[in-house]
Amino acid sequence: MSALFEPLTLRSLTFPHRVWMAPMCQYSAAPEGPLAGVATDWHFTHYAARATGGTALVIQEATAVSPEGRISPYDLGIWNDTQVEALRRITGFVTEHGGIPGVQLAHAGRKASTERPWKGGAPVGPEAHGWQPSGPSPVAFAEGHPVPHELTADEIREVVGQFGAAARRALAAGFKAVEVHGAHGYLIGEFLSPHGNHRTDGYGGSFENRVRFALEVVDAVRAEWPEDLPVLFRISATDWLEEGGWTGDDTVRFAALLKEHGVDLLDVSTGGNAAGVRIPVAPGYQVPFATRVRAETGLPVAAVGLITDPAQAEKIVANGEADAVLLGRELLRDPYWARRAARELGAEIRTPGQYARA
């Protein structure tokens, strides 16, 4: 039997196999007005295609816990009930066709208020539906980016509360797994790394202080999320800086704390917190970071990053390098990747009756 297509259980939730969809922003919601952040027909079609394509866990793109937490003005949100109603259509379809609907809860921090990637991705101001971003310290992400507003202690507590409220709405929307976005240089990752966190209060300086915000967010989410359903956390395992950044050692240490705070699986990516760094991109280049976390902490992990071939994915799971694989761009290219992989590896997965004759 294929290891990639064996079920995996986290708490009471059993995933039919280990081919999962990584969160990938679509930048396709209205930027303002009563439909701001609300899922559209594009979102429904996008996620429905991956569900009928056989993907076991369909994680919805970074979904902002507040208007200011969006990466772009066109991101999805989960800060009001209108957004919840639109999401129920997506989660219902994914569930009906054998998938597990998941959602990534996010706050973009100092990397917020940017244009859509195909429009250049540069920071935008009020004239283009933008706003002033916020972060742990008044340090811009890169040249040409605005200096963010430094969050006060009271504002930090407010954001923690927004994550908790978002988890409550995610449950009402029908999601079965929730992922906290702590990667790629967005707000939580900014607090974790000394590269972007220059605070001198209880949220900066030492490792213990820099992880405080992340753990408070996890606790707020876990308090709202059912005990029998899993919480995932996405991490950038390294900033790829020679010094002054977040490291693989930090990730292992932090993963052990996340496990104590009720996180069930670590989604291991890298980078995004420092501009202009050299990243040794190659097939599976991030997998060793996931493998190390799994080996040293016992926390289940998912690997992501240039995993494109079924045999490659099978090897990662069969060798115990990760418990699941997350596909990003590959699922944009091929929504039916899971079906193709199952056929190549001699496995069987659920097929919609409408497609059975194929």
For residue 3, tell me if it sits in a domain: no
Quick one: average pLDDT of 96-119?
97
pLDDT in tens, 9-59: 999 999 999 999 999 999 999 999 999 999 999 999 999 999 999 999 999
Other CB atoms closer than 10 Å to residue 26's CB: what's the count? 18
Q: What is the DSSP letter of 281?
A: -
pLDDT at 339: 96
In this model, does residue 351 exceed pLDDT 90? Answer: no
pLDDT at 353: 87
SS3 91: helix
Residue 87: per-residue pLDDT: 98
Residues with catalytic function: 186
User: Does residue 51 form part of some domain?
Assistant: yes
pLDDT value of residue 210: 98
| 207: Cα separation from own chain's centroid | 22
Rounded CA-CA distance 304/33 in Å is 35
Distance between CA atoms of residues 125 and 203, nearest Å: 28
pLDDT at 95: 97
Residue 63: domain span:
8-351
Average pLDDT score over residue span 199-227: 98
CA angle at residue 268 from 107 to 16, to 5 degrees?
A: 100
Residue 280 sits in a domain whose CATH number is: 3.20.20.70
* Percent of the chain with pLDDT strictly greater than 90: 97
- Residue 344's pLDDT is what? 97
H or E element that contains 115: none
356 occurs within a structural domain? no
The SS3 of residue 174 is: coil
**In a domain? residue 75:** yes
Asked whether the predicted pLDDT for residue 1 surpasses 90, the reply is: no
Is residue 358 a part of any domain in this protein?
A: no
The verdict on residue 175 lying in a domain is yes
- On the question of pLDDT at 117 being above 90, the answer is yes
Q: How far apart (Å, rounded) are the C-alpha atoms in residues 21 and 19? A: 7
> Span 162-176, mean pLDDT?
98
Q: Looking at residue 356, what is its pLDDT?
A: 84
Average pLDDT of span 155-179? 98
pLDDT in tens, 241-281: 999 999 999 999 999 999 999 999 999 999 999 999 999 99
57-85 average pLDDT score:
98
**Average pLDDT of the chain to the nearest whole number:** 97
The number of folded domains in the chain is 1
The alpha carbons of the chain give a radius of gyration, in whole angstroms, of: 19
Place of tokens 């596909």: 327
Cβ distance 145 to 132 under 8 Å? Answer: no
Question: Does residue 1 lie within any of the structural domains?
Answer: no
Is residue 238 a contact partner of residue 247, using CB atoms and an 8 Å limit? Answer: yes
Q: Is residue 127 part of a domain?
A: yes
